[in-house]
Amino acid sequence: MTFQSHLASFLRNYYIYLVLIGVVLLLSVANLDRFDFFERGNFLNQKNIINILRVSAPILTLAGAFTLLMVSGYIDLSVGSAMSLSAVVYAMLVINGMPFLPAFGITILVGMLLGIINGFLVVRLKITPVIATLITLSLYKGIALLLVQDGVSAIKSGGGLKMPAWFNSYGRSGILLGLPMAFWVAVLVTIILIVIQNRTLLGKYAAATGGNPTAAKLSGVNTGKVVISLYVIVGITAALAGIARSSFMSLGDPLSGDGMELTAILVVLLGGTAFSGGEGKVLRSFVGALIIMALTVGMLTLVPAYYQTLVIGGTLLAAAASNHLVSRKAAS
C-alpha cells in the first residue's frame, strides 16, 4: 500500500470525525471577537454543549436504527409522524395520572405497533417503501392531530388536567455529567445497535438484504422477517425520540416530529451510508447527528434563524454528492 491509498482509506473511515472537529472549531472561533474561548456565549461553553446534547436526544436516538434500515435498502418516511404520535400518546398518559414507567412502556409498545404496520405494508402487501411510509406518515400525523382536542395546539396543562412536575425531568435534568436521562438512553440505544450490527445475525442479514436481496433470499435469509424487525426497531426508537422531545418541551405536540424524516436521512447520508443499501455504520450516523445539531444550534449565534432551511437543504445535497463521489472512488 502506498501512502496515498493509506491516506484515502483513512479519510474514508474517519472523515466524519474530522468534519465534526472542523464544525466545532469553526463555530468556536466564529464569535471570538466578542467572547473568550470557554466563556458564556461562545460555542465551547459547558452550558451550551449540555444544551445542544439535550436538544439532540431525539435524533441521536433515531440515527442508529434508521441507519440499519437504510443499510438493508429500505426507508421510513413516517418516523417524524411516529415520533409526534408517540409524544402525544405519552403526554396523554402522563397528564391523566399514569406514573413514568407504565406510560414509558405503553408508548414504546405503540412505537412497535407503528413499526409493525410499516413492515406489514412493505413486506406483506409489497407496497414500495417510499409510498407505504408516505401513507403512514399521513396516517400517524392525522391520528396525532385528532388525539389532541379541537382548538388546542398540544397536550398540556389546562382544562382541569395538570402535567405533573416530574414530567420534564427525563429530558432536562442532568443525572450524569449534567446530561439528562434521554441523552443516556440515546447512547445506550446506539451501543445496543452497534452490537446488533457487528455481532448478531440480524446485523449481517440487514447488510446482506441491502447488498443483494436476491442472493440473500437464495442463501436462506428470511428477508421479510429481517425487514419487519428493522421497521419495528425504528418504531421503538421513534417512540423513545417522541418521549424525549415531549418531556423536553413539557407538552405533547402533534407536530413536534415534523421534518424528522428529513433530518434522519440527512444524518445517515452524512455518516456515509450508501442510499442503495449494503453499507453503513451506526456509530458514524451518531456522529453525523452530532454534526447536524452542532451546526443548526451553533449557527443561530451567527445568522438569523431563517437561514436554517437553506443550510440544512444545502448540507443534504452536499452530503449526497460527496457520498456518491466517495463510493464511486471506492468502487473503481
Partner 1 sequence: MSISVKKDKSTQEDIKMSNENFITLLVVCVAIGVFLFASLLVPNFFQFQNMVNLVTNNWAVISLGVGVTFLLVSGNFDLSVGGIVALSGVLAVWFAQSIDGANALSSGGGLPTYLAMLFALAGAMAIGGLNALFVVRLKIPSIIVTLGTMMVARGIAQVITHGSQRNTNLPDDFGLLGNLTLFGTTIKLPVVLMLSLVLVAVFLERKTVFGRLTYWIGSNPVASKLSGIDSSRHQTYLYLFSAAIAGVVGILLASEFKSGFSNRGMLMEFDALVIALLGGIAIAGGFGSVIGMFFGAIILAVVTSAATGLVLSPDWQFILKAIAVFLAITTQTWALARRNR
CA distance 226 to 203: 9
Q: How far separated are the first and last CA of the chain, in Å rounded?
A: 16
The nearest distance, CB 168 to partner 1, in angstroms, is 26
How many CB atoms are located within 10 Å of the residue 271 CB? Answer: 26
Nearer to partner 1, 143 or 194 (CB): 143
Closest CB to partner 1 among 184 and 275?
275
Minimum CB separation of residue 146 from partner 1 in Å reads 5
For the segment 52-81, give every residue that binds partner 1 (CB under 8 A). Answer: none
- Residue 170 has, within 13 A of its CA and on its CB side, a CA count of 25
Give the footprint of partner 1 on residues 241-300 (CB under 8 A).
262, 265, 269, 275-276
Question: Nearest approach, Cβ of 259 to partner 1 (angstroms)?
Answer: 9
Identify the CA nearest to 223 among candidates 197, 231, 238, 264: 231
In the bound state with partner 1, the residue whose beta carbon lies nearer, of 128 and 173, is: 128
**Residue tagged 451550551 (cell numbers):** 48
3-state SS, residue 148: coil
CB of 217 to partner 1, least distance (A): 20
Minimum CB separation of residue 125 from partner 1 in Å reads 7
Q: Which is nearer to partner 1, 16 or 268 (CB)?
A: 268
Report how far residue 184's alpha carbon sits from residue 182's, in angstroms, rounded to the nearest whole number.
Answer: 6
In angstroms, rounded to a whole number, what is the distance separating the alpha carbons of residues 252 and 328? 44
Do 180 and 57 meet the contact criterion of CB atoms below 8 Å apart? yes
Please say which residue, 177 or 317, places its beta carbon nearer to partner 1: 317
Q: Cβ 231 to partner 1, closest distance in Å?
A: 17
Q: Within the chain, where are the H helices?
A: 3-30, 46-71, 79-95, 100-119, 129-147, 169-172, 181-199, 201-211, 213-218, 223-249, 260-270, 282-299, 308-331
Verify binding: residue 102, partner 1, rule CB under 8 A.
no
Alpha-carbon distance 164 to 282, whole Å?
A: 35
CA–CA gap between residue 109 and residue 90 (Å, rounded): 11
Q: x/- contact string, 205-234, with partner 1 (CB under 8 A)?
A: ------------------------------
List Cα–Cα distances, 100 to 59, 96, 106, 149, 170, in angstroms: 22, 12, 10, 23, 9
Residue 163 Cβ vs partner 1, minimum distance, rounded to whole Å: 22
Encoded one letter per residue, x for contact with partner 1 by CB under 8 A and - for no contact, window 112-151 reads: ---------x---x-xx-xx--xxxxxx-xxx-xx---x-
Q: Closest distance between partner 1 and the C-beta of residue 301, in Å?
A: 17
Q: Per CB under 8 A, which of residues 296..325 are in contact with partner 1?
A: 304-314, 316-317, 320-321, 324
Total binding residues toward partner 1, as defined by CB under 8 A: 39
List of residues contacting partner 1 (CB under 8 A): 121, 125, 127-128, 130-131, 134-139, 141-143, 145-146, 150, 262, 265, 269, 275-276, 304-314, 316-317, 320-321, 324
